[in-house]
Structure 1
Amino acid sequence: MSTYKLICPHSHSRMRISTSEGKHIFLRVACLQCTHEGCGWSVRAEFEMTHEMSPSRMANPEVRLPLATAAQRHAAMVSATDQPGLLDPLEKERAI
């Protein structure tokens, strides 16, 4: 299992979640902070569940999300072993 890496767009250091609150069954609001001592950037973020990739074997009738398209499911399977960080494209642009 992989974890999602959040990267500060300023210092390119890891971000940490300082607080997190569930707003809805499919929505979580979090405050993120850069771990670089010299940066100090913080931001509010929202994490939303939007599509079902595969059905649960313990289905809750309150959970109703649209099924992801075949292309979305395929892309998730391909990237599951090499999941990029949230802001990795910015890091690559700066390197060029």
Structure 2
Amino acid sequence: MSVYKLVCPHCRGKMRIRTSDGEHIFLRTAYLQCTNEACSWSCRATFEMTHELSPSSTPNPNALLPVAPSAMRRAALPQNDEEQLDMLDHKEHDHA
């Protein structure tokens, strides 16, 4: 079962990942198929991890990605959390 929300560009039906191959620690090649039997379109896709949005609590020293810019991190937040401050952008002020 796929955790991705993939939509068929032809019939707008749900797509499923039939199989995938790991090309690299950050890259997978996937073979997708539309679940709408009347359509049944299939394709090849690649999924690439490009930026770290939040750090791992169990980091792998071989899994280093650039930290995403604040705008990219904000775009990844659910729409109802837009008002929440980004901790990495917040700077403590001296109240002395």
TM-score, structure 2 as length reference: 0.76
Within a 5 Å distance, the mapping from 1:1-96 to structure 2 comes to 3-79=3-79
> 1-side partners of 2:80 and 2:56: how far apart?
19
3-state SS of paired residue (1:28): strand
Give the counterpart letter for 2:78 in structure 1: V
CA 79–29 in structure 1, closer or farther in 2 if over 3 Å, else same? farther
CA RMSD of aligned residues (A): 1.7
| Unmatched tracts of structure 1, length 5 or more | 82-96
Alignment size in residue pairs? 79
TM-score, structure 1 as length reference: 0.76
Post-superposition CA distance 1:39-89 (Å, at most 9, x none): 1210000000000001111111101100000111111113498xxxxxxxx
Structure 1 ranges of 4+ moved more than 4 A = none
Percent of aligned positions that are identical? 58
User: Higher helix proportion, which one?
Assistant: 1
**Over alpha carbons, which structure has the higher Rg?**
2
